[in-house]
């Protein structure tokens, strides 16, 4: 990501990020959304960039409550107060990201940050039924095995072949 100048590394080039958002929002007919991480130890810098992104045409902002230095083995805790500060400063919807592990975390994160929504990556990869509290519309428990079976059935239905077969042809 650093060599390719994308992801959280691109945040070090704030003017370029703002120019990209401005160009996209001026030339596209669809909303432009952004996702950022907090700057390490510099909430005022984060707030300034968020406001610049909004002014450039960002219509929704997702804020990861960790810095780019907090990843893999050094994840650390999520800064929900930082996300709350961004939300308080913005006129556009703000989505909280980071620190979500269970369904009960959803309400806690929304209350603590005031965010308009919550985004998850790793927790949903582990448990795709996280956002429905592992219950289907009838209140029946949904586990990973059921989700995998339903996924394969849908793939078979839409791809028109037996994706569950172990026969290699």
* 3-class DSSP string for the chain: CCCCCCHHHHHHCHHHHHHHHHHHHHHCCCCEEEEEECCCCCHHHHHHHHHHHHHHCEEEEEEECCCCCCCHHHCCCCCHHHHHHHHHHCCCCEEEECCCCCHHHHHHHHHHHCCCEEECCHHHHHCCCHHHCCECCCCCECCHHHHHHHHHHHHHHHHCCCCCCCCCC
Top-confidence residue, 99 or 168: 99
Terminal Cα-to-Cα distance of the chain (whole angstroms): 39
User: pLDDT band for position 164 (50/70/90)?
Assistant: low
The mean pLDDT value for 10-26 works out to: 93
The mean pLDDT value for 23-51 works out to: 95
Write down the pLDDT at residue 160. 72
Write down the pLDDT at residue 109. 96
Mean pLDDT score across all residues of the chain: 88
Residue that has been written with the tokens 């990201």 in this structure: 97
Among 56-60, 85-89, 126-130, which stretch is predicted with the lowest mean pLDDT? Answer: 126-130
Write down the pLDDT at residue 82. 96
User: pLDDT band for position 121 (50/70/90)?
Assistant: confident
Write down the pLDDT at residue 9. 75
Write down the pLDDT at residue 69. 62
User: pLDDT band for position 2 (50/70/90)?
Assistant: low
Residue-level length of the chain: 169
Write down the pLDDT at residue 4. 64
Regarding pTM above 0.85, the answer is no
């Amino acid at each position: 990501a650093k060599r390719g100048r994308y992801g959280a590394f691109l945040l070090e080039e704030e003017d370029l990020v703002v120019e990209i958002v401005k160009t996209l929002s001026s030339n596209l007919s669809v909303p432009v959304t952004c996702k950022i991480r907090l700057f390490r130890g510099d909430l005022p810098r984060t707030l300034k960039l968020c406001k610049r992104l909004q002014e450039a045409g960002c219509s929704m902002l997702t804020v990861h409550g960790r810095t780019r230095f907090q990843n893999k083995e050094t994840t650390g805790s999520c800064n929900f107060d930082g996300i709350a500060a961004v939300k308080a400063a913005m006129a556009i919807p703000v989505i909280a990201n980071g620190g979500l592990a269970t369904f009960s975390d959803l309400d806690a994160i929304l209350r603590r940050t005031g965010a308009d929504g919550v985004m998850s990556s790793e927790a949903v990869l582990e448990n795709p039924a996280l956002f429905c509290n592992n219950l289907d519309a009838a209140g029946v428990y949904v586990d990973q095995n059921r989700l995998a079976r339903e996924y394969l059935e849908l793939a078979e239905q839409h791809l028109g072949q037996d994706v569950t077969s172990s026969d290699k042809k």
